[in-house]
């Protein structure tokens, strides 16, 4: 992004942080392609367990975020991270609602191997991963954010290190710890 565009985007973030609804709408317009890419990854991860398409997920995330008061995004990465977490929540809610409608709410848990954490396949696994992430967020919020940024936003560990202002090695250690805690939580269910 050019310095002029970067400065313009920064000004839009500042206006949005101040409560300017038009600025929030501008953010979605400017970042729509990136939001669409994130939504596509979430829909693909759900593997047919959702009736929503990518565009619907982007728009539902927009509606949810636009209704929230007091949200502050200092930069594009934090905005996209929040949007990705919102999309993940919507995907999990849709999977749960569909299962409830379809199967009366009966949940059959399928064991999730550690390798599946990197590529959750079935809707059950996505839902279980969401529950495990919620538990991790209560225990270690920074580790849960790391998983969100890496798994759901698609950031590399180097990008996350840069975002957090720490070394890549620190992020690698945190990533190993997060995977271990998630694996342990998923094995218990």
Each residue's pLDDT tens digit, 123-173: 777 788 888 888 889 999 999 989 888 877 888 898 899 888 999 999 999
pTM of the model: 0.53
Same domain, 9 and 96: yes
What does the pLDDT read at residue 58? 92
**What CATH number corresponds to the domain at position 113?**
1.10.10
For residues 106-132, average pLDDT: 58
Distance from C-alpha of 26 to C-alpha of 43, rounded to nearest angstrom: 24
Same domain, 128 and 103: no
Position 5 confidence tier, pLDDT thresholds 50, 70, 90: low
pLDDT in tens, 11-39: 888 887 777 778 878 888 888 999 999 99
Same domain, 47 and 15: yes
Given a contact cutoff of 8 angstroms between Cβ atoms, the answer to whether 83 and 38 are in contact is: yes
Q: Domain range spanning residue 93?
A: 1-107
Given a contact cutoff of 8 angstroms between Cβ atoms, the answer to whether 163 and 154 are in contact is: no
How many domains, the chain?
Answer: 2
Distance from C-alpha of 69 to C-alpha of 55, rounded to nearest angstrom: 24
Q: Which of 107, 128, 156 finishes a domain?
A: 107
Distance from C-alpha of 34 to C-alpha of 18, rounded to nearest angstrom: 23
pLDDT in tens, 26-81: 888 888 999 999 999 888 888 777 788 899 999 998 888 878 766 667 778 888 88
* Among 88, 179, 175, residue whose Cα is nearest residue 126: 88
What does the pLDDT read at residue 169? 94
* Among 72, 81, 70, residue whose Cα is nearest residue 13: 72
Distance from C-alpha of 147 to C-alpha of 108, rounded to nearest angstrom: 25
Q: Which of 86, 107, 128 finishes a domain?
A: 107
What does the pLDDT read at residue 16? 76
Neighbouring CB atoms inside 10 A of 186's CB total 21
Same domain, 124 and 47: no
């Amino acid at each position: 992004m050019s310095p002029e565009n970067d400065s313009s985007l920064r000004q839009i973030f500042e206006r949005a942080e101040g409560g300017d609804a038009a600025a929030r709408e501008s953010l979605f317009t400017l970042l729509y392609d990136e939001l669409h890419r994130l939504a596509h990854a979430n829909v693909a991860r759900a593997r047919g367990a959702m009736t929503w398409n990518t565009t619907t997920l982007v728009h539902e995330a927009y509606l949810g975020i636009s209704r929230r008061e007091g949200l502050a995004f200092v930069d594009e990465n934090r905005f996209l991270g929040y949007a990705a977490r919102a999309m993940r929540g919507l995907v999990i809610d849709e999977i749960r609602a569909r299962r409830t409608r379809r199967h009366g709410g009966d949940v059959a848990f399928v064991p999730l191997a550690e390798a599946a954490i990197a590529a959750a396949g079935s809707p059950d696994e996505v839902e279980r991963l969401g529950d495990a992430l919620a538990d991790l967020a209560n225990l270690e919020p920074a580790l849960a954010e790391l998983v969100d940024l890496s798994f759901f936003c698609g950031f590399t560990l180097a990008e996350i290190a840069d975002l957090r202002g720490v070394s890549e090695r620190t992020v690698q250690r945190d990533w190993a710890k997060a995977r271990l805690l998630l694996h342990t939580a998923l094995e218990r269910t």
